[in-house]
Structure 1
């Protein structure tokens, strides 16, 4: 916090303990105003503080005569008062994401979270109705008022979470605790205590900083020595012919570090003025530049952003290349690939300034180079150590790799970290996090092995070479995830058979299929039933025949079909291996009761979706197949009903349905919910389910338009390049930055030659059939313009060129189809055109 005298405080305390009664709302939520009725529950201990919070519109009483000194405070009410005291911008704060904050406090909590003062109990709950504790109050005040300080205390109830904040409050005289050894961290704070805390921190006087010396430590940096410099700010210092950009301090306030906008001129005297309490001190210095050491900073750069420069450190500080040249130094960069080959010309557009090329191909993952710099002047040569630079797609909104799926060459999804020597696994897809959304990606990733002798890498495929351990690093954009594998020699064998349900109820003289899961000794799915052939036994008195077949080899799922006899009883099916070892059992019970007590819509084994939530933009989750199962009064499944024997009624337009045989297929049509109700042919209601349809196709949520200003020149070409932040590419569709989609997307947004915006999901630079279009950029002139541009796409091949005397407005819009299939404008901006006309008697504009 910069130093300012005590008069800078926003409020002053006056002795007029009064308030307004808040009716029908929480007391702290009412708009505070002053009134004349005194509070009867405010003792001398609290009076000055209560006067302050009331008269400065921070709090109200709980009745006309009661402030509620001994009452606790809810977190939402405390948030309202603190946000008011800090004078936060509550009107423009983004949504905090908390779902439990009442409307009266929402904008205040949003502002506190945006300012980094509160974080909530969870990502979605603030704990609005909970009482705020003294520990929580300490955290909020320390953050909100930037309180720091060291103090000795004997509190035994202050954990590490609260230690720094409580120490800061004690050091600044805000509190001394409830007793000598108890701060009362977990105790709810009382309204009277709250008023005292807030009053003391609001009226806290900042100490006066003192400056004793100023020294230039680099071309753009100063070091100031003194005391209490943590209360020293940019407004307290001026540098001749320069601008102060930033100030930071050390922990005890004895040093301040200043960065200015422009380099100091070597050999020229520079004046620094320090102003505190309207008193000015003047310091002078003369800076001399000499390079003693050189280093290149490791860095990550975008694949297609122009004018990116590798950062060079001289004497451990960043310097610009023009400044080095002005001081007689020459710079030369060299770049080398992973094989040590010199690729300087491929990497650098200008290897004397560190400017990188654009258009790097990162389709198969990030690129990595070793970079070295040589700085020379006369007979002095300085050479840096190698630094690593990575080229990635920084436009990706992905924040982490959450999961990965490997497909084993033997036909199953690899779930364990064990491979058998000779096996291969292929990385099929990644699940990446984009905010609260999850996205599956099937390309654009890269793998590397820590031990190729155990597990080698060839593109998407891993090969288990020999027993040993290896860590596989998966890279997607700038994200990485490590997966560990152990290679063993022992071949896989079936080790466990686990029924989905056990015991299961069967009808006599009936047939029932039961799902079972097959896994090997490493916990991975077994994709076939060959090891079970001839090794399944069941009591013949109850089970006539049985058979088993794989239904999903990738997951190791199978179906055991049991055909029962007419006998009633209990028994078990045993699954064994060739050594007669039991791998699993299925208990069952047969019953003769064949009535129908209820009907249930169940998802079939061949359904695309395995639940009742469908995604309209996902081919593998767009439909669900149901069958109407009968259950007896003993809850025994008694077959399924043919679709000809029942009617289907659907609410809304979210889904469509189709019937064939015993299967009812429900397909997503539009976002929303639908009830699927089943009636028999006599219109008797049998059952229903509710299906939810999500449309996760990305749509434009926000566009950060570029403002080119008023166009006032003749022959000025205007197109979408003037209003969108575009990185042009000669070999692929241009990248457009500044467009936010909902949900977020992992791939960059690009624009085609005919002005179609799309998400480049596979990062190949072209619009593919399965990629999402976000809209088309259109332009037209406004009706009051004296020139005409017909509505249509405005691509680089269809530009508008201004003429003398043009006056009006060009309107750019992005048009997309809404969920009803109709065109709608999702974003727009305008460009003002005002080109002076040609004066009379002249042939050319003046």
Structure 2
């Protein structure tokens, strides 16, 4: 069964100003903001300009009281080009009591996340051009959905319940999901229940009273500003948490589970053990070795928070891809390259938010014949599946190319296991790899102790430069 995709979350580094990294064109378009009717309930707007900002918590907007939580929130969004105000008469206001449209909230959220908009268009016909990329990316990553297959409901005012669901989908791994937190609100049920429970427990949201959240009420621009600022404050907390030790996250070439049957005398000298002697801070192998045989990235994401994020390590290595690339009988990969890229990116962004040092790793080269023969013994003829992909080794290396590109784009150190071992073997052929003794003769995929030692040194060297 297809595993649910965990959404891509923010890549921003908490505690920093990132205006230079966010293009203002992604922020709200003031022309889309409709001045509310004159009979709407609003806070009085001062005739005087706010005082000159000599510190924090003072904005350029006349409807934002200085030195309040609202002022800090609005100043944060305004200074970083995430959300803008508009002109009302002769004054510049943020519109703190105005509602906000679904499209504007989506653009603000996607801008804050610096979300990658290089995805297929979502197909919503009611989006302004400026929002197509961001809304499509949010939909692709499970953060939001439309009213129908072709309508996002762009011009509709977004509700408090809709906002909480989107924030939960985007940032849920930031928070403790312990069941000790209860949902006290009688109107937050069904799809709203869990998002409200978790975000209320984390102090991100509040109800309109002790028993009612106001799920179907319109959220104001001032309220959403404070929610986004609280998300930012949570990122700052995560970044400042004390961290120690090392976690290796991946599949069987990380777990080394096959050592028990194939290389028993080397059982405590796997590459993860060797790295942990330097970076493991004295932790037991069950702490630092979080490889799981057979896992692809979607299965990895299901345990990522518990195995990696909650462990609060100082260093992390990530090595996935072989199982993602393996083809199913219908010729489709276990995980597509686009999903693989998104999954890796999500992991890296979660680690970046926390200030955890990370190294990406490519996968081993593969001895095609050894793997095909193993599958044949098990009653599966797989060689034809890979014939038009240049063979299994070439196909897996195309997933390595995804890893290389993600590492390059995100400025993450890379240990290119594939290229290192191919260079040591003197070529990327079955003959050269078999002769090298770097890959096992059972699967043609797993590292031998010889390769294991080479990789251990490469990882230690990469971590030493962090």
TM-score (norm 2): 0.47
TM-score (norm 1): 0.27
Q: Which structure would you say has the larger RCO, counting Cα contacts within 8 Å and 6 or more residues apart? A: 2
Quick check: which one's strand share is greater? 1
Quick check: which one's helix share is greater? 2
